[in-house]
Amino acid sequence: MDIRIFETSEELDLYAAEIFRKLINEKPNAVLGLATGSTPVGIYAKMVEDYKNNKVSFSGVTTYNLDEYVGLTPDNDQSYAYYMNQNLFSHVDIPAIQTNLPDGMAEDPQEECRRYEAMINEHPADIQLLGLGHNGHIAFNEPDEHLSAGTHVVKLKEETLEANARFFASIDEVPKEAYTMGIGSILKANTILLVVRGSDKANIVKEALTGPITTKVPASLLQTHPRVTVLLDREAGRML
């Protein structure tokens, strides 16, 4: 694992955006695995800046997002589809048809999981961006006795509902279920870029990167991947 600790969030964002820029410039039809949450917001802002400064074009890029809430439409401002449009897609030249998220409104959830997983299998990501939940989850793969390999519907843990309630009017409005890529879907990516910020995640960063590989800390399975880069701010990396 290549672990890098940055003094400021801005330096981290610049470094991450440069990884994407270099990849896309070398491979204009790159497949990007993307993530939501507060962690990648600054990285997307730098990617948009790079696009506006003519340093990169997303016209040939295809994207697959990790997850989406069940039951939210893309125009719901809490859906991950909405987030991606707000933070990245609507500001760059990527054609909408080349952007993919699980469909939160799909009529048949099992069929939607199969459809999404088949697409990932056909177009494995060149790079998969990941954030980290406080309980060690990646995407919405929650700590458990066992984990699912492929895209599936998950019941969100109470702690995840609480963590994500800050984005909703009240905790009751947080959807109880989500589509998520499985750990196997994530590990298919050629390279993984895990980004973590904040002192409240220092403990789980240490467990995930240096503790035993266990389904109780889903991110610990990243230790089995041959090409993982971890970008941390000083606070998140303070226990390493």
Query: Which residues are at the interface with ligand GLP (CB under 6 A)?
Result: 35-39, 66-67, 131-133, 139-140, 160, 164
**Which residue number, 89 or 179, has a Cβ lying nearer to ligand GLP?**
179
Neighbours of 53 (CB within 10 A): 8
The residue number with the shortest CB distance to ligand GLP is: 131
Residue 227 Cβ vs ligand GLP, minimum distance, rounded to whole Å: 19
Helix (H/G/I), strand (E/B), else coil: 164:
helix
Q: Which of 13, 50, 112, 142 is labelled catalytic?
A: 142
**Which residue number, 123 or 134, has a Cβ lying nearer to ligand GLP?**
134
**Which residue number, 8 or 29, has a Cβ lying nearer to ligand GLP?**
8
**Which residue number, 56 or 133, has a Cβ lying nearer to ligand GLP?**
133
Residue 201 Cβ vs ligand GLP, minimum distance, rounded to whole Å: 7
- 165: tokens are 């309630």
Q: Which of 117, 137, 152, 233 is labelled catalytic?
A: 137
Residue 60 Cβ vs ligand GLP, minimum distance, rounded to whole Å: 25
Q: Is 8 exposed, middle or buried (0-12, 13-18, 19+ CB in 10 A)?
A: exposed
Residue 86 Cβ vs ligand GLP, minimum distance, rounded to whole Å: 15
Answer yes or no: 103 catalytic: no
Residue 200 Cβ vs ligand GLP, minimum distance, rounded to whole Å: 9
- 225: tokens are 């991947």
Answer yes or no: 142 catalytic: yes
The CA distance from 135 to 117, in Å, is: 25
The CA distance from 162 to 200, in Å, is: 15
Answer yes or no: 18 catalytic: no
Residue 107: CB partners within 8 Å, gap ≥ 6? none
| Cα three-residue angle 83-113-167, rounded to 5 degrees | 25
The CA distance from 217 to 142, in Å, is: 8
**Which residue number, 133 or 175, has a Cβ lying nearer to ligand GLP?**
133
Name the amino acid, one letter, at 25. N
Under 8 Å between Cβ of 202 and 237: yes
Catalytic annotation, residues = 67, 135, 137, 142
